[in-house]
């Protein structure tokens, strides 16, 4: 599914770029693009948050 229509970036591409990203600008940089209208920025921020939660979950599992 397309998340950013302006740049034709799909959810899978954002999810991969969000892994280890510090912020939204980082994700766009990894995709080789720049945000245009900004409507997708909250969704991109959610991708970053999801990867942080998953990483935290993996650390908790590894510690057990």
User: Helix and strand tally (H, E) in the chain?
Assistant: 3, 2
- Residue 4 parent element (H or E): strand 2-4
This prediction has a pTM of 0.78
Using CA atoms, how far residue 32 sits from 26, 27, 51, 58, 61, in Å, is 10, 9, 20, 28, 33
Q: Where are the domains of the chain?
A: 2-63
CATH number for region 2-63: 1.10.10
Per-residue pLDDT of the chain (64 residues; tens, 9 = 90+): 999 999 999 999 988 898 888 899 999 999 999 999 999 999 999 988 988 888 775 554 555 5
């Amino acid at each position: 599914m397309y998340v950013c229509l302006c740049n034709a970036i799909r959810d899978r591409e954002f999810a991969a770029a969000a892994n280890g990203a510090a912020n939204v600008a980082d994700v766009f940089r990894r995709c080789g693009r720049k945000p245009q209208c900004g409507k997708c920025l909250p969704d991109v921020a959610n991708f970053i948050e999801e990867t942080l939660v998953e990483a935290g979950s993996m650390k908790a599992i590894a510690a057990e």
